[in-house]
Structures are given as structure tokens and as C-alpha cells.
Amino acid sequence: MLKKPDVKVVLLGDMNVGKTSLLHRYVEKKFQETVSTVGGAFYLKQWGPHNISIWDTAGREQFHGLGSMYCRGAAAVLLVYDVSNFQSLVELEDRFLALTDTASTDCIFAIVGNKVDLTDECTSVSETEGEKPCSSMAGSATKVRKQVRMEDAVSLYKRVLKYKMLDEKEVPAAEKMCFETSAKSGHNVDFLFESLFDTVVPLVKKKANGPSETVDLTECNKAVKGTRSGCCK
């Protein structure tokens, strides 16, 4: 029997930034031509004892209304932009961030700059995956100028926390949650998903096992009894 997914991860971002390609690269381990997504689709990933659903959404304006539905109850949201297109980063804040209002209150966020293979410069935060210099990446023939720097992504991450009213000290650090990837070469793609799962799964587990939010009335009674005084004795 198929186990019910217990962790939900959603990819959001403008059309053409490479959400579907990133997911294909991670799940199928290859880069293939895509068609612009209609509505949304999801993949299931077994992660230890956990069943993670990863939702790919459509960036096209006409499907915008569906975004908040896909984000409902999400434990993690990947905000994806294209490093060669600054407007795609701006759109994340202008159009997509509000869609995450339906996500879980302690949802974590990752900012993902895709298509680094296209640019003349690449910076990476990957430590586990073997670093691939830009020259060894696929599609290195004609490079374009990188329009979004890692610092821009980090400041977006901080603004996302502000929007969500999250305390910087209580959530994963920006350096851990801002990634640069290439779905085409595979650069940083496994690292992105795996480090996200490693961050989100313990948080979901902690929430599931955490202290009950209900009030224990027997404890309250004991406290009240202990403080009774005067005529009520």
C-alpha cells in the first residue's frame, strides 16, 4: 500500500527558470527538454522512513491562482530563479512569496539560482558534492553575464524571513539555504534536495513528537490548589 506523504516540498518561481528541469535532474538523473508546466505535478521521494512529496508548479501567470493551493501545508518551499535573469528574482518577492501564506507556519525556505552553466561566473556553497569548475560544465560555449549575485539571494532570504515574521536565529542560516544550481550539468542539484531534506525532516519529526499544545488541566488544578488562600481554604 502507498504510504501517505508526511513531508511536502513545493517548487515556486517564474516560468522558464527551470523548476521542472531541476526535478527531472534529481529524480531521473538526466536533463531533457521540457514543456512549460500546466497546473502542477508531484513526485514522491522515499527518504529513510519518510515519504516526501515534491510539488512542481507552473510559473505561467495564467496558473498563478493555483499556487497557494499547492503550497497548503508545505514544510519547505524552494523559491527558484534564473541567475541570468534578474527579473526572475524580483518576481519571487512580487508574485510568489504571498502564495506561501498557506504553507505550514514553520515552513522553511530555500532560494535557488538555477542555470549557472549559462553564466561567466559561478559561486557555489556546495561542500559535499565535488566542485565542478565552470569550464567543465555543460553548455560552456556561449556564456552570458550573471545577473544575480549570491548576495542578492541572501538578502531576499532575509526579506522572506521578515515577511514570515521568523527570527533569523531560529531558522536555518541564509548561507545554508541559498543555492546555485544547473539542471543542465547537474551541478549542486542532489546537494540542494538532499540538504533540504536533511534540514526539513528533523523539523517535521520534532513537530510530530513535540510537546502537546493542549493544556493539562490536572497540572492547572494542582497549581491552583497550591495557591488557594483565605476563605477558599
As to burial, measured by CB atoms within 10 angstroms (0-12 exposed, 13-18 middle, 19+ buried), residue 198 is exposed
How far apart (Å, rounded) are the C-alpha atoms in residues 52 and 6? 6
Q: Measured from the CB of residue 85, what is the shortest distance to ligand GTP in angstroms?
A: 10
Write down the least CB distance from residue 32 to Mg ion, Å. 12
For cell 490536572, name the residue. 218
CA dist., res. 134 & res. 137, Å (int): 5
DSSP state letter for 144: B
Grid cell digits, residue 137: 560544465
Contact assessment for residue 148 and residue 113, using Cβ atoms and an 8 Å cutoff? yes
Is 113 near ligand GTP (CB under 6 A)? no
146 exposed, middle or buried (CB, 10 Å; 0-12, 13-18, 19+)? buried
* Among 139, 159, 162, 220, contact with ligand GTP (rule: CB under 6 A): 139
Considering only 29-37, 157-165, 169-177, 220-228, which stretch makes contact with ligand GTP by CB under 6 A? 29-37
State yes or no: residue 17 binds ligand GTP (CB under 6 A): yes
Residue 88 binding partner per list Mg ion, ligand GTP, none, with a CB distance cut-off of 5 to 8 Å that depends on partner kind: none
User: How far apart are CB 48 and ligand GTP at their closest, in Å?
Assistant: 28
Q: CA 37, CA 31: separation in Å to the nearest integer?
A: 16
Asked if 114 touches ligand GTP (CB under 6 A), the answer is: yes
Q: Which is nearer to ligand GTP, 164 or 187 (CB)?
A: 187
Pattern 170-199, ligand GTP, x by CB under 6 A: ------------xxx---------------
Candidates 5, 6, 15, 125; binder of ligand GTP (CB under 6 A) is: 15
Q: How far is the CB of 59 from ligand GTP (least distance, A)?
A: 3
From candidates 12, 37, 55, 74, binder to Mg ion by CB under 5 A = 37
Question: Which residues is 114 bridged to in the sheet?
Answer: 82
Taking alpha carbons only, the member of 96, 75, 121 closest to residue 19 is: 96
Work out whether 149 is an interface residue with ligand GTP (CB under 6 A): no
Q: How far apart are CA 21 and CA 13, in angstroms?
A: 13
Q: Give SS3 for 117.
A: helix
* Sole binder of Mg ion in the list 10, 18, 20, 171 (CB under 5 A): 20
Residues that bind ligand GTP (CB under 6 A): 13, 15-21, 33-34, 36-37, 58-60, 114-115, 117-118, 139, 182-184
